Structure 1
């Protein structure tokens, strides 16, 4: 008897430790479509935790069953992708999962080619409320997109997000975290669409009108949301908070490039209102990274670097702080006359190659990737240039930033690429030179000094004119 009880206890303990949660779903649509379902844990943007992720390719099956080993309750993003031919639609919802739970879902066709959750059939009140608000938000946003944007009408539409959340919460015994999430979701959706549609309105009016700062006020205290760590669960939170700060410091949201003085003013305002350190760090990252991305190196670079580092010093996360400082300092490599960065690459055989090996001739670098359609369109023009200058005092190098070596090799074979072909698997070259888009072309002199940071596209006559003008070519 004792052995039996011990065995039963061990089995029970094993089941609890596994904490298997099951999500089952049925899709009430035609069988000529294929489906992909994925489940991803929602984690704060300040978290180093790797979110739990599961994905199932259903093919043409109209049902799914996901099993997740969940130790503690939390929020998860559930996405269902539907494809038929070239058409694709995605239904994404946030759900709340607890250990050892079974959640049953049903999806119905909506319109010509999309799906909606049949939230009325969900028995769990927490998830019924989450799914109901999401579908009603989507419905409202679709209506707003087809209307001509205005000001008064927009605010009335936006207030509906809070009313939808209040209705979903009313008279229900929801988990406190779920109820709080619903209120935050209403706030996040309100703010995201407030900035989006007011921007559309201003663009439509072509500068004939202005929107006063008071217009951006809402039915709730915006700042209190940003002082709560839950805001970190929402991907738009950083952008929305930056827009909110712009309104508080300038009177309106801005899309213009910012000086370090403006960045300093905005960060000072934020710190005065005591948000969590992780939120201050995230806003600092956003503002300083954007400043770096739009920065044009000038003769005052050393002073700008000093001022930049002073702002970055206030960041509490040492890894983030050091990365931002390093990214800005690397802008030295974009200055005319800058030396070749000390970065190595792999050739087709897997051997290591350093750029310094190419000193002695001019160097034309083509930064590309196998997935980059504009890069591939430019490839024949690069090959024409290489053939035209064959035997001259210039080398042509193609550096791929592909994250997959096999994709790089396959695309080279397909395009019949030859000559100096290299792979920058970690993407260090593009990062060190602050290159945000490809294709990107650079020219160095025989001493390895930068002549042109961003050359014209190979199909433009201006590029050939620049190469022809190189002395000693």
Structure 2
């Protein structure tokens, strides 16, 4: 009896000690808008685990309550999407949550359909600081967007990101974790806008002389930030490092197509200046991924592959190294005459199938997803083509890369999609073929050899001309 009682006590204590974080909010808006709340954990670029995330659709109600099972303190992106038949807007803000935390928020309407957070009502010092910075930065973003000042004066305005942050950080009660995040956030936002400002100026038709190297002078030491792992929490962290390296090597900022020699030069600089190995790995991986994306297939592919592999070997993280090497090797599948990659798919009945079953006829592939608006707009044109070539020596196959099977099935039913419909949950087909955007259309011959890697959109008459010219159609 005592053992049973002790067991019940232990069970009860575990239930009581379970930390549930609560986020409550109210919306003081005059209109009836449908609201959806998204909560997603912010992970560093080198973290591979799946982030905690939650979605809450509250409809037209003006309040919400969200419960989250937070295991440890972390930063999250809170996104509030409000929409009606004509308008849609999203309010994004970073919040800091700890186990058993309770956060109360008040949102107010702004303009026709926007939202602002009344951060003065937030009791949490950390989150009050995060929301205050967010709202002040949003205001500065709008001012910069509407500014007609010259590029030098606009650069001076960017310093306000640091000024606003210092003002908020004057509150000494902010936790060290959030203080550090806010400092890095100011650095990230400043640099993102600095390089974008220079890019827009250099691309301007009236600006024949690009900004000089002095334009990129920083009010703080970038290397201090680059050598801290916190930089990897920010989506533009790695990109801003690459922009910095381009300036250091007198390379055009945002140069899209870099040679392997140029990439090696950038790597030499970053390895000489940055001791943060995780960041160095991410930088090398990003540079090589960009090279793969912009690569133009030539007869020197094998030589390029060898040189590429030597650079990739400098990446310490084996997962990143393997990923970038595999991506470049997969370019073989994009060459005319390349064989179909060996990939298994699922049909609507849940059966496993492969594309080999379509050999013997030409194969037109439509790579799409239920969330892809351009894909959906092109669907009627694909269906029209399929009807026009009914009975011909060609099969039409739609491959969805949806991560949710039910979304795929629902959208197929909504669009009345017929014929051969397949699901590629891990997007293995797209990854093997280095496809970076959808919709994407391809054509294989009856032997399963690639004829057209990237066909024009189905609403373009040239696509029908391409199909009509296929021998033995």
Question: TM exceeds 0.5?
Answer: yes
311-320 vs 138-147, which deviates more? 311-320
The alpha carbon displacement at 1:256 in A equals 2.7
SS in 1 for 2:40: strand
Structure 2 match to 1:258: 258
**Compared CA separation, residues 100 and 303, structure 1 to 2 (3 A):** same
The alpha carbon displacement at 1:104 in A equals 3.0
Q: Which structure's CA Rg is the greater one? A: 1
Deviations 1:398-425 (A, max 9, x none): 4333444444445555555554443333
Deviations 1:340-379 (A, max 9, x none): 2222334444444333333334333333344444444444
- Alignment map for 1:150-299 (pairs within 5 Å): 150-170=150-170, 172-299=172-299
**Any gaps of 5 or more consecutive residues in structure 1?**
1-5
SS in 2 for 1:456: coil
Structure 2 match to 1:453: 453
| Cα distance in 1, alignment partners of residues 391 and 12 from structure 2 | 77
| Cα distance in 2, alignment partners of residues 353 and 18 from structure 1 | 44
**Compared CA separation, residues 461 and 111, structure 1 to 2 (3 A):** closer
- Alignment map for 1:31-110 (pairs within 5 Å): 32-110=32-110
**Compared CA separation, residues 464 and 67, structure 1 to 2 (3 A):** closer
Structure 2 match to 1:28: 28
Contact 1:338 1:450 in 2 (8 A): yes
Q: Give me the TM-score of the superposition, normalised by structure 1.
A: 0.88
41-50 vs 298-307, which deviates more? 41-50
Deviations 1:151-183 (A, max 9, x none): 221122111111111111125332222222221
Deviations 1:318-345 (A, max 9, x none): 2221122111111111112212222233
Structure 2 match to 1:139: 139
The alpha carbon displacement at 1:392 in A equals 4.5
295-304 vs 364-373, which deviates more? 364-373
| Cα distance in 2, alignment partners of residues 468 and 84 from structure 1 | 44
Contact 2:223 2:274 in 1 (8 A): no
The alpha carbon displacement at 1:290 in A equals 1.5
| Cα distance in 2, alignment partners of residues 18 and 230 from structure 1 | 29
319-328 vs 44-53, which deviates more? 44-53
- Alignment map for 1:108-119 (pairs within 5 Å): 108-119=108-119
Structure 1 match to 2:3: none
SS in 1 for 2:174: coil
Structure 2 match to 1:311: 311
The alpha carbon displacement at 1:381 in A equals 4.5
| Cα distance in 1, alignment partners of residues 296 and 18 from structure 2 | 54
The alpha carbon displacement at 1:264 in A equals 1.6
416-425 vs 213-222, which deviates more? 416-425
**Any gaps of 5 or more consecutive residues in structure 2?**
1-5
SS in 2 for 1:425: coil
CA RMSD across the alignment: 2.9
